[in-house]
Amino acid sequence: MRPVSRWIIYLTLVVALLCHLFPWGGRGIILRPVFMFVVLLYWLLRSPHLCNIGTAWFAGLLVDLATGSLLGQHALSFTLAAFVGVSYQRRLVLFNAWHLMGYVFLIFLLERVLLLLLKLFAGNENPGWHFFLPILTGILLWQSMIFVFGTITRPKSR
């Protein structure tokens, strides 16, 4: 695992924001992954000295502004989920690919549950089970992130 440049991280986060801004329409929108959180979690688990809970908070704020939801909603859910993610970050070296995927799945789930709770408290209607579909597409995006930028777990050869 090579150390990464700070600029690569910011560039990918900007690309993720662009994906949020993309004019999504039709039925497929319920499948849309939370791009920002997937990219963020990857960098958070890989190099937490460059991308940490503060970055998560700021990224969440940008998503809030871009989606027009209550300011701080995504920021809070990203912050809390990133905290759980980063707390076990040092143990990830011992994980294999499947364990890692399960771990990431749980954190995505946590992010969704937190956001759902915040939305319900803010007075939105119950969105139903579709709300959790982005987790699955998020996992796919996660795997492609690993494919492009390299794995987080221990290399196979050792």
| Nearest Cα to Cα of residue 145 among 90, 91, 108, 94 | 108
Tell the smallest beta-carbon distance from residue 143 to other proteins (Å): 20
41: phi then psi, degrees, rounded to nearest 5: -65, -35
User: Least separation, in Å, of the C-beta of 140 and other proteins?
Assistant: 18
Q: How many residues can be counted in the chain?
A: 158
**Is residue 117 part of the contact set for other proteins (CB under 8 A)?**
no
Instruction: Return the number of the residue (63 or 104) whose C-beta is nearest other proteins.
Output: 63
Encoded tokens for 105: 């799945």
Do residues 54 and 83 make contact, with C-beta atoms less than 8 angstroms apart?
A: no
- CA neighbours closer than 13 Å in the CB half-sphere of residue 49: 4
Q: Would you give the binding string for other proteins spanning residues 76-115, x where CB under 8 A is met?
A: x--xx-xx--xx--x-------------------------
30 counts as binding other proteins under rule CB under 8 A: yes
Task: Give the integer Cα–Cα distance in Å for 124 and 51.
Answer: 31
Residue 120 touching other proteins (CB under 8 A) = no
Residue 138: phi, psi to the nearest 5? Answer: -65, -40
Q: Which of 12, 42, 43, 47 binds other proteins (CB under 8 A)?
A: 47
Q: Smaller CB distance to other proteins: residue 49 or 156?
A: 49
**Among 11, 24, 136, 143, contact with other proteins (rule: CB under 8 A):** 24
Those residues with Cβ within 8 angstroms of residue 155's Cβ, 6 or more apart along the chain or in another chain: 1
Binding site for other proteins (CB under 8 A): 1, 3, 5-7, 17-26, 29-30, 32, 46-50, 52-54, 56-57, 60-61, 65-73, 75-76, 79-80, 82-83, 86-87, 90, 118-119, 122-125, 127, 130-131
